[in-house]
Structure 1
């Protein structure tokens, strides 16, 4: 049972959502979700008119922006789902931006002092009252430390966890309604998508996790002169406050400014792509949303990464399988792609494998004569993922983050250098990772790990066997036997028994009725005992029902 105030907040939120749907021309969706009461109120407020000067994708973006931070973040996640939305929706949702006013500096100061348990003027020499940037979850202020170091303080907005938690409850309800009433959305498993989003955004709300992501990246790129990871200040960071070194440079997306400052756009594009591909293929820990606003260029074309909120991770085995898949895509080898999909457990049955291979081969054939540098890798991957989902197969969520990262890298690279091809840069990384499988040192490491597992198993088995035997002796061990056809056999036996019982009753009814008719016992009907005639009538009904049941079951 939910508290009444929580219920009321939920009802108000539903009302806000449906009114926004009406305002932006999504009445059909509200009707499909059976949100009738809020819909009537929304129609009274806004009428049934749409904002006709914008297309539906633009109106969806505007709707999500109006609904606030949770829905903006959810829309950003949807923009990675190439299997669920058309390209015009994906490109529009990728531009989602927060439109929120900055919190007053007094509120920021109160949060920082409460989190770090000290007055602001003791912690920092100076703090700028006007934020450098303000987003839906947090805002950033420049500051200097007592030692003169320039830093930025990222401060979480007040009550944002409670707001997001309430919105997540509403999103779960909407996903449930969509799966129940909108059949066309069921294959996309919206409930699972919302839970995936809830997990991701909950992690983003904990700035300690963001600091750990930053420190892990700093370790991974410690010896790479082309990438700079800002320093994090652990003693000035908590779950709601993150302090890191201030880095000043040129936005990676501003090609004209880069050229004015002496940067080479081609080198910048290569360094940016290599930084992402190292995260994926070397470190197995990659930025899921490498937004151009979070990447700046320093002297010598060094790339600085500023945001560490959304990161994905893939283990070594998955990295190898992914490398094989992308290598198959780059080499336009359908057989290699299908083998990699099978290793990734995306393709299971032999029949599904053959059918999908035919479709993938057809896709590959369209690219056979296209030079590698001219292949739009993200479009090719989009088409392949849609084929996979068309077969009802599941794609791991981290693959969509990966595709989003590659899409952003390719788009940004081509903006800097029209001749840039992410496919050309993927090939050497993927080949290196695949070849490492055959490196003697790698094989020895795998054998060593297997040997350790075998040793652990051998040391565990005697104790486990003793435990099982002790339970057997005490009579605590129960065994279950599954007979897969037993349920069907039981049903067939029950049906036969019922029919036999009905047949016996039918025979008894006919014999009894015959005996009664011969006695001429009153009352009489047409000269025959009425009781006997009723018995014959019941016998006819029972007989017909028995014959119909046998005919329907095909057992005649």
Structure 2
């Protein structure tokens, strides 16, 4: 209990709050309560939501994440948690002003001609103010609150401890990787405390979307920005949720949805860095049917492997391939055998594909169905995938405000088709060949030793065997030679598979085909002739 006692006062507040709302037994299961602790009433979905709101930003965000995990909790609980909102009273400007000047390292009037003292946005982590630079440029200033960090860090330490305890006490809980879930939560919240990270995210997204003339990302003033303060361009626009204002401004909803969706899909499927919270308050419609993305405090990042899996997910829906979809769910769940899905899972995948591939896709409904399928099949999803699904569903909902007929799969099809037709990049080819060749070479080097060891154990055991090859020589030498030939063949095959598509298009055209294709055909004929001579076919 060393870690919880470190934050004893905060732990006592958490226990008292959960007990008051009937949820003390949850803390008991997480190892945070010394014994049964129950309130006067039983815990209900609504009372759990109230308890989390009373405990502040960390527990609110935890509840919001859990609301997307219908693979973990029943629908009534998920529905209640989806309405969680952080209730934080804004701090007066007199307190925030001192923090701003400390972060700037000078009086604010040396940088700004005016700052509106009433915040235009307030959250648990920080507050946002409208301001003007000395040259009259409209900007917004985000300032972190000075009163939350100590408590938030204590909450994260306690949740990390509780997740580890719960996983240790229950193998069933461990399957869902609670520690990884809390790490994702902690990473997101700690990133929000460091506005330097948000500034870097904003600049990265601006660079990634530079090729989209109808997409805007706010300009930053890095000279004035620091860990506790960030200054960026103020963009005036119309929120996607205000249909009357969009119509009055002469803006076209379907065009705006297409612009926003293409930018989001490009970030997700090409750049592998995406806005993790693209709700209507973080997007603005601008004159000329342009879209602005703001607030990059939460940014998701995909590994190359996860990007390929996401593309496989979209391909399975686009091509209506339930078996591929079932295999992907098994891979995400860390199953040992992903090549032979259980009949029940393949049937469920078939129903999912039939439901969601024949008409405009409601991504929020589809993700809910995936979560329920995973739960029914006793599988589990990694926490980072849940953040990705949440961002995709949020973007889908925002685009549907602009265009009720919007379909995420239709928006993704060009990227899927491009991926199907695209040749691997040279650097990807080199990386794949290097990995495969290294593994094959290691196999070739290790195979003789492994074979010798196996033969030695065989000779020392109860079963003894003596094999004489027709051409002479012992078995170990023959197998060693065969292993080296196999390794060489694997390396050659890897080279042909990776470089073949590139070489086939190389060189001038000869009788309608590139010279590289002719050389490949001649090589194939020569190889067949050599094998037939060698094996006397």
TM-score, normalization by structure 2: 0.73
Correspondences of 1:237-256 after superposition (within 5 Å): 237-256=225-244
The answer to whether the Cα contact below 8 Å between 1:335 and 1:357 also exists between their aligned partners in 2 is no
Question: Which secondary structure does the structure 2 equivalent of 1:250 belong to?
Answer: coil
Q: Bigger relative contact order, structure 1 or 2, given CA contacts below 8 A and separation 6+?
A: 2
Distance 1:90 1:196, change over 3 A: same
Cα deviation digits, residues 169-205 of structure 1 (max 9, x gap): 2212333444455675343232222122222222221
Correspondences of 1:88-487 after superposition (within 5 Å): 88-179=76-167, 185-338=173-326, 340=328, 346=333, 348-350=335-337, 353-356=339-342, 358-365=344-351, 367-368=353-354, 372-388=358-374, 395-436=381-422, 439=423, 442-449=424-431
Partner of 1:500: none
Partner of 2:23: 26
Counting matched residue pairs gives: 445
CA offset at residue 291 of structure 1?
2.1
Partner of 2:8: 11
Cα deviation digits, residues 468-496 of structure 1 (max 9, x gap): xxxxxxxxxxxxx99xx9xxx9xxxxxxx
Question: Which secondary structure does the structure 2 equivalent of 1:304 belong to?
Answer: strand
Distance 1:30 1:322, change over 3 A: closer
Distance 1:454 1:176, change over 3 A: closer
Cα deviation digits, residues 120-159 of structure 1 (max 9, x gap): 1101111111111110000001111111111111000114
The 1-side partners of 2:341 and 2:357 are apart by 27
Query: Is it true that 1:49 corresponds to 2:41 in the alignment?
Result: yes
Q: Which moved more, 1:175-184 or 1:106-115?
A: 175-184
Distance 1:177 1:315, change over 3 A: closer
Question: Which secondary structure does the structure 1 equivalent of 2:384 belong to?
Answer: helix
Q: Which moved more, 1:80-89 or 1:157-166?
A: 80-89
Distance 1:448 1:253, change over 3 A: same
The answer to whether the Cα contact below 8 Å between 1:320 and 1:434 also exists between their aligned partners in 2 is no
Question: Which secondary structure does the structure 1 equivalent of 2:354 belong to?
Answer: coil
| Superposition RMSD in Å | 3.4
Distance 1:236 1:357, change over 3 A: farther
CA offset at residue 48 of structure 1?
0.2
Question: Which secondary structure does the structure 1 equivalent of 2:300 belong to?
Answer: strand
The 2-side partners of 1:172 and 1:194 are apart by 6
The 2-side partners of 1:451 and 1:28 are apart by 54
CA offset at residue 359 of structure 1?
1.4
Q: Which moved more, 1:409-418 or 1:104-113?
A: 409-418
Distance 1:35 1:317, change over 3 A: closer
The 2-side partners of 1:299 and 1:273 are apart by 18
The 2-side partners of 1:135 and 1:119 are apart by 25
The answer to whether the Cα contact below 8 Å between 1:138 and 1:154 also exists between their aligned partners in 2 is yes
Larger radius of gyration: 1
The answer to whether the Cα contact below 8 Å between 1:268 and 1:302 also exists between their aligned partners in 2 is yes
Distance 1:121 1:270, change over 3 A: same
Q: Which moved more, 1:357-366 or 1:327-336?
A: 357-366
Cα deviation digits, residues 401-443 of structure 1 (max 9, x gap): 221012112223334333222222122222222322xx2xx34
CA offset at residue 397 of structure 1?
3.0
Cα deviation digits, residues 338-369 of structure 1 (max 9, x gap): 45567x6755533x542346513443246437
Question: Which secondary structure does the structure 1 equivalent of 2:22 belong to?
Answer: coil
Cα deviation digits, residues 278-327 of structure 1 (max 9, x gap): 11112111112212211121112222111101111123453233212211
CA offset at residue 267 of structure 1?
2.3
The 2-side partners of 1:444 and 1:308 are apart by 32
The answer to whether the Cα contact below 8 Å between 1:154 and 1:242 also exists between their aligned partners in 2 is yes
Query: Is it true that 1:70 corresponds to 2:58 in the alignment?
Result: yes
Distance 1:161 1:301, change over 3 A: same
Cα deviation digits, residues 466-524 of structure 1 (max 9, x gap): xxxxxxxxxxxxxxx99xx9xxx9xxxxxxxxxxxxxxxxxxxxxxxxxxxxxxxxxxx
Q: Which moved more, 1:74-83 or 1:159-168?
A: 74-83
TM-score, normalization by structure 1: 0.71
Correspondences of 1:516-555 after superposition (within 5 Å): none
Question: Which secondary structure does the structure 1 equivalent of 2:406 belong to?
Answer: coil
The 1-side partners of 2:303 and 2:352 are apart by 33
The 2-side partners of 1:35 and 1:396 are apart by 25
